Structure 1
């Protein structure tokens, strides 16, 4: 039995495959540490074979992805100066292959399929956490928090906030119907419950800011492009004033107080200072990708002990740019800042000039959420995590020719024209 290529690689005809591949990938990202290497192989099996199915589609104008691949390339090259070469070599190749998978997804999976797969996958992830999860005691703030089947409340908070966002996008941007609408409502409800139980201030503030900005954009899209551009400039100025007010008049402390936090962000400010001190030792190219948090290294061991990390793994500086500065120096910060800033600005530019572009609106929200979180979390620089997959998917969508995202496959176009003629 021969399967048509379009059912696997054409965004207009592979919606079932794309949805299943995205849902499976999200489950792997959540629980690969529980299910081991088999789950990672299943993730690769969803995406890498598509290179063989239609290599022309995958490699068409791949030079457009140069700015996207820069960070992963530097991570691989850092093996030559890494303090832990074996760790860096393995992690760098994992990151590079992970980015390639995300870019393949951007070429083959439409935004509607992405949202459907994300809603289904996140719903399963959270239900699994409810079934097999637990509460953990946090010695830093003296509270018990629901961590589900994860090791941190911030991780389940991330999946819950993503579940809320994709449910919102399905209902109000893509306007799903029938069973998909019902699934989005279920996912949104489950995600709200999980976020409330996790009590992750980072995730609550990030999803609130994301939904607020996206809702404003939905309203702005009702106006003609000239008026819309003026409204976006005014909104940007208002946002800057709001950020200045929050930073200088104590509003930020009030928000943190509502979650039982203080101005140190539960030890984050001390951790940031330690990161700056570590970065000063190798400011240009860093100590090597993932070569700082290595068992047996004195500074890593000290911080693990101070922050009660008994597993001596899975820790970071809770700031994407400080983490990158330590590992890959100023060069790495420049290369990760490029997609972090260019992707939301690129989609915002498209939204300012087009009448209706739901795909760009959904992708903007994804990039915007991770830009907000990047100042207090590390979501997008590691392999096999949902944050880096979604960010690089959005970057690949921005870099791909627009005809790849909107044009029909030749067979589908022919059928539609034939029906119109009849």
Structure 2
């Protein structure tokens, strides 16, 4: 029996395969540390074979994606100056291959497939956590919180945030009906419960901020295209003004107090200071990708002990930019910032010009959530993580669409001047 290639690599014909592939990938991102190499190999088996099915469509010309893969390439190359070359070599290859899988997904899966697959995967993740998870005592917070089957309440909170957002996208952007609407409602219920139980302030604030931003964007769409940009600028200035007031007149303290946190973000500000001090040792290229939090290294051991991290792993500076500054220096910081900022701005510009661009509408929300979280969490610089997968998927979708539009414009010009 001959199976058509379109059933695997064509975004308009591969919904069944894509739905399953995305759902399984989400489960792997959540629990790869629990299930080990088998889960990671399953993830690779879902995406890399698509290159063999149709390598032209799956890969495309990666030279056009230079701004997307530059940070991953630097992570791989940092093995040459890494303080722990063995760790960097392994992690760098894993991260770069993870980027490739996300870009393959961007070229072969449309946003509807991605959204519904994410909903199914996140429902599985939350159900697994509810069935087999438990509570964890945080010696810094001084209280118990539900962590599910994760090692951290912030990870459970992040997946719950994504579940709520994709359910919002399913119901109000894609406007799905029937069974998919029921799936969206189920995901809101499960993710909402898990988010509250996790008591992750970062995730709750990021979820509320992202949904508020998307609702505000919907209001802007009621106006003409020229007016939209003026309103967006006014909204941006208002947001900066509120942030200034919050930082200087106690607004942040009140917000954190509502979640039982203090102004130090439960030790984060101390970690940030330690990270900035560490970055001064190798400011240009850093100590190497994932070469700081290594067992046996004195500074890492000291911070693990101070923050009661008995496993001596899975810890970071709770700030994406400081983490990158330590590992890959100012060069890495510039390359990552290029992606983190360009993706939401690029999708925003597209939807301001075309309000019916649902793909960019959904991807803008995801990129905005990742940007909000980047100041307090590290979601996008690790392999086999849902945050990095979604960032590079959104970037690949933006770059692919740009390339397609340039090709159409070139063909139109040639046709008119033949």
User: Take 1:14 and 1:262, find their aligned partners in 2: how far apart are those partners?
Assistant: 49
Match in the other structure for 1:27: 27
| Displacement of 1:168 | 0.4
| Displacement of 1:224 | 2.2
| Displacement of 1:108 | 0.5
Partners of 1:106 and 1:394 within 8 A in 2: yes
Match in the other structure for 1:79: 79
Match in the other structure for 2:412: none
**What is the CA deviation profile of residues 24-69 of structure 1, one whole-angstrom value per residue up to 9, with x for unaligned ones?**
0000000011111011000001100111111111233322211000
Matched, 1:202 2:202: yes
**What is the CA deviation profile of residues 255-310 of structure 1, one whole-angstrom value per residue up to 9, with x for unaligned ones?**
00011000000000001111011101000000000000000000000000000000
Partners of 1:221 and 1:351 within 8 A in 2: no
Q: 1:333 to 1:402 in 2, by over 3 A?
A: closer
Unaligned runs of 5+ in 1: 408-422
Partners of 2:59 and 2:104 within 8 A in 1: no
User: Take 1:236 and 1:15, find their aligned partners in 2: how far apart are those partners?
Assistant: 37
* TM-score between the two structures when normalised by the length of structure 1: 0.95
Q: The residue matched to 2:144 in structure 1 has which SS?
A: strand
Instruction: Note the aligned Cα RMSD (angstroms).
Output: 1.2
Match in the other structure for 2:111: 111
User: Take 1:129 and 1:206, find their aligned partners in 2: how far apart are those partners?
Assistant: 21
* TM-score between the two structures when normalised by the length of structure 2: 0.96
User: Take 1:404 and 1:182, find their aligned partners in 2: how far apart are those partners?
Assistant: 34
Q: Give the 5 Å matches for 1:3-402.
A: 3-401=3-401
User: Take 1:132 and 1:349, find their aligned partners in 2: how far apart are those partners?
Assistant: 43
User: Take 1:64 and 1:403, find their aligned partners in 2: how far apart are those partners?
Assistant: 8
User: Take 1:226 and 1:348, find their aligned partners in 2: how far apart are those partners?
Assistant: 14
Q: The residue matched to 1:349 in structure 2 has which SS?
A: helix
Partners of 1:319 and 1:378 within 8 A in 2: yes
Match in the other structure for 2:413: none
Partners of 1:221 and 1:356 within 8 A in 2: no
Partners of 1:224 and 1:355 within 8 A in 2: no
| Displacement of 1:218 | 1.8
Q: 1:261 to 1:355 in 2, by over 3 A?
A: closer
User: Take 1:253 and 1:401, find their aligned partners in 2: how far apart are those partners?
Assistant: 42
User: Take 1:404 and 1:48, find their aligned partners in 2: how far apart are those partners?
Assistant: 23
